[in-house]
């Protein structure tokens, strides 16, 4: 089968690989129909994900059709159309029982697919703990609509949950990349009084406006004024940092009001400085880390009910043969790209 492989040393390659087989009774094999490219794939390429293993097939954001299931898989059957979760989780350990699935204690727990074990930028993928890692797509939901459920949409939903949004709140999201946009869509479900999305790139700011999310899209330079105006000078009740740009970590906590919540969703490639003496008395709560992608069924229902729609994020579609070209476009942010769908059987 065709598979897109991280070779190490900044090299990626389309290769022929054997089709994966079941390795445990809890595994399933999925025939991938659509896969996407995530900014985390670029972090792997750049050598910024120390756990990524050279030789691994990339891809952790995809949908497909179940081809084969192990004897202990009961939730999905061959022929089911499914989303695939970025995270592998056993469902039984201390963390899984609390919904903290990114911290699953299984050796393959957390983000393993397309990082430590072969992922789904390939014609077929083996999914461990398939009852947890796969979610059936409702008939009324297309593959395109479901594509981001297991990764960036889950991230947006998790980020909005971390922000503890209430109806009177002013919520600020930094960065209108696909993660910030998903966070904005999910934050909007809580109907905060003010939802503000800040994006430095004019083209991306326009893209965000055209998506129809009920948020004010603003230039980061105007943020302090806009927030002050809307909150009688207090600051934002919560800030979701999904930019990971120069200075956005500092901006995030500075924009929050005293006793506000700062959610650090961005994955930094460098250390950040927490100036504790400066923020003493501000009583901020910081929340950090990798998404706990534990609510895919709920997200699929929200999509089926037309309360969430991420299809507008797909700006480009490529055939698997052209995946290198797709990576190049994605990495260089050419041609207004936001997210790319890779079609496997085209
Ligand atoms: N925590 C998790 O589990 C998780 C999951 C998915 C992605 N991420 C991380 O989230 C981050 C965002 O992901 P993405 O795919 O949307 O990336 P992206 O690069 O497409 O988006 C970031 C956006 O922030 C904008 N930006 C940069 N500097 C800015 C500034 N000063 N003010 C306002 N906007 C600014 C950029 O122009 C860009 O549009 C990445 O670091 C990614 O690794 C984390
Ligand atoms: Zn990802
Ligand atoms: Zn577990």
Residue 150 CA to ligand 3 centre (angstroms): 17
Atom of ligand 1 nearest to the CA of 181: 16
The protein residues having their C-beta less than 5 angstroms from ligand 3 (an ion) are 89-90, 93, 96, 104
Place of tokens 């120390």: 50
How far apart are the C-alpha atoms of 94 and 248, rounded to whole Å?
34
Strand intervals (E) in 129-284:
134-136, 170-174, 194-198, 216-218, 236-241, 256-264
Whether 308 and 284 have beta carbons less than 8 Å apart is answered as no
DSSP readout, 115-146?
TTB--SSBSEEEESSHHHHEEEPPTTS-HHHH
Q: Report the first-to-last Cα separation within the chain, whole angstroms.
A: 14
Q: Dmax of the chain from CA atoms? A: 62
How far apart are the C-alpha atoms of 260 and 171, rounded to whole Å?
10
Domain locations along the chain: 2-151+292-343, 155-288
How far apart are the C-alpha atoms of 138 and 300, rounded to whole Å?
7
How far apart are the C-alpha atoms of 210 and 219, rounded to whole Å?
16
**Protein residue closest via CA to atom 17 of ligand 1:** 177
Q: Is the dihedral of CA 285, 286, 290, 291 positive or negative?
A: positive
Q: Is the dihedral of CA 46, 47, 49, 53 positive or negative?
A: positive
How far apart are the C-alpha atoms of 297 and 302, rounded to whole Å?
9
Classify domain 2-151+292-343 at the CATH topology level: Quinone Oxidoreductase; Chain A, domain 1 (3.90.180)
Q: What averages of pLDDT result for each successive group of 10 residues across the chain (346 residues)?
A: 96 98 98 97 93 97 98 98 98 96 96 98 98 98 98 98 98 98 98 98 97 96 96 98 96 97 92 92 95 97 98 98 98 97 90
Superfamily of domain 155-288: NAD(P)-binding Rossmann-like Domain (3.40.50.720)
Q: What pTM does this model have?
A: 0.96
110 ligand 1 Cβ < 6 A: no
Ligand nearest the Cα of residue 94 is 3
DSSP 8-state symbol, 279: H
**Protein residue closest via CA to atom 8 of ligand 1:** 266
176 ligand 1 Cβ < 6 A: yes
1 ligand 1 Cβ < 6 A: no
- Asked if 2-151+292-343 and 155-288 have one fold, the answer is no
Token code pair at residue 289: 């880390």
Query: Would you give the distance in Å from CA 232 to the centre of its chain?
Result: 33
pLDDT at 346: 66
pLDDT at 191: 98
């Amino acid at each position: 089968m065709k598979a897109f492989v991280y070779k190490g040393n900044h090299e990626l390659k389309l290769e022929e690989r054997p089709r994966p087989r079941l390795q445990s009774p809890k595994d399933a094999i999925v025939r991938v129909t659509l896969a996407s490219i995530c900014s985390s794939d670029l972090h792997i390429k750049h050598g910024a994900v120390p756990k990524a293993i050279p030789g691994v097939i990339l891809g952790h954001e995809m949908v497909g059709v179940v081809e084969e299931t192990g004897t202990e898989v009961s939730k999905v059957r061959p022929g089911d159309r499914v989303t695939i979760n970025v995270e592998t989780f056993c469902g039984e350990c201390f963390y899984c029982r609390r919904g903290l699935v990114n911290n699953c204690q299984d050796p393959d727990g957390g983000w393993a697919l397309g990082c430590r074990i072969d992922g789904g930028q390939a014609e077929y993928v083996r999914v461990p703990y398939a009852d947890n890692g796969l979610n059936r797509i409702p008939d009324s939901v297309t593959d395109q609509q479901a594509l981001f459920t297991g990764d960036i949409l889950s991230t947006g939903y998790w980020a909005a949950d971390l922000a503890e949004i209430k109806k009177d709140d002013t919520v600020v999201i930094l960065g209108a990349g696909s993660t910030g946009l998903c966070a904005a869509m999910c934050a909007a479900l809580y109907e905060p009084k003010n939802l503000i999305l800040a994006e430095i790139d004019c083209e991306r700011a326009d893209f965000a406006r055209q998506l129809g999310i009920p948020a004010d899209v603003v230039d980061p330079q105007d943020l302090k004024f806009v927030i002050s105006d809307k909150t009688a000078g207090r600051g934002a009740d919560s800030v979701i940092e999904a930019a990971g740009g120069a200075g956005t970590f500092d901006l995030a906590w500075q924009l929050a009001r005293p006793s506000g919540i700062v959610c650090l969703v961005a994955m930094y490639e460098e250390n950040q400085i927490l100036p504790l003496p400066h923020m003493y008395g501000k009583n901020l709560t910081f929340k950090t880390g990798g998404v706990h992608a534990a609510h895919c069924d709920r997200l699929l229902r929200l999509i089926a009910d037309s309360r969430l729609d991420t299809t507008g994020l797909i700006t480009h579609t490529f055939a698997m043969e052209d995946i290198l070209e797709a990576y190049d476009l994605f990495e260089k942010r050419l041609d207004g790209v936001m997210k790319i769908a890779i079609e496997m059987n085209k």
